[in-house]
Chain A
Amino acid sequence: ENVLTQSPATLSLSPGETATLSCRASQTVSSYLGWYQQKPGQAPRLLIYDASNRATGIPARFSGSGSGTDFTLTISSLEPEDFAVYYCQQRNNWPPTFGQGTKVEIK
């Protein structure tokens, strides 16, 4: 299966700073990669699909980029509600897989 490796495991930042999260795939996923946000006790929330498309209702401070095996989620000017765990997910290779997550915490 296609293993997604996210880095860093934890990102400590202050509100207003920019978060840059990485997801690297063991095999190419073309542009078929998504990003999810998960807060404690909640279900994941779709942020980005197909590498760079924001899901409905997602603020413009969230942006995705990349193709092939290397992808980035950028959160510009962190808001207090953005501190959460973020997962990437690929749908190019069978079975669909998720990364292990990056926790964005308040510094």
Chain B
Amino acid sequence: QVQLQESGPGLVKSSETLSLTCTVSGDSISNYYWSWIRQPPGKGLEWIGYMYYSGTTNYNPSLKSRVTISVDTSRNQFSLKLSSVTAADTAVYYCARCARGYSYGPWDYWGQGTLVTVSS
């Protein structure tokens, strides 16, 4: 059974960098595309970006200048960094696996999500 688990600080100060890690268990991180998706409280879903196990990445243009996604295949983990955060970045952040053979969805496995609050 594939499981994803997000970890990282739940509170980040405005203008600082948000850092989260997704640990994958039950399957290898290889041969899949892995995404970060976020959801502000009470609102809809926004795709942040993806990475392939080889290190290839692609980001939402709306966040591209502030986002970095990286992979650590030895630990079966991938990470998100979002710089210069503001209150608008307060959201539940999900990591998710794209179904085999796909890259921009559909996502068939998701982490439980972690709430990150940006404080001033």
Contact = CB atoms under 8 A, between A and B. Distances in A.
A89 interface: yes
Main secondary structure of the interface of B (DSSP, over half): loop
A96 B112 contact: no
A19 to B, nearest CB: 19
Interface residues of B, number: 21
B46 interface: yes
Interface string A40-67: 0011111001100001100000000000
A98 interface: yes
Contacts, number: 54
Contacts of A87: 44-45
B109 to A, nearest CB: 9
B3 to A, nearest CB: 12
Contact of B44 (A50, A90, A96, A100): A100
A98 B45 contact: yes
Contact of A96 (B104, B108, B113): B104
Contacts of B107: 44, 46
A1 to B, nearest CB: 8
B110 A96 contact: no
Nearest to B110: A43
Given A49-B106, A91-B105, 15 more contacts: A43-B94, A43-B96, A44-B107, A46-B106, A55-B108, A87-B44, A89-B45, A89-B106, A91-B102, A91-B103, A95-B47, A95-B60, A95-B104, A98-B45, A98-B46
Interface of A: 34, 36, 42-46, 49-50, 55-56, 87, 89-91, 94-101
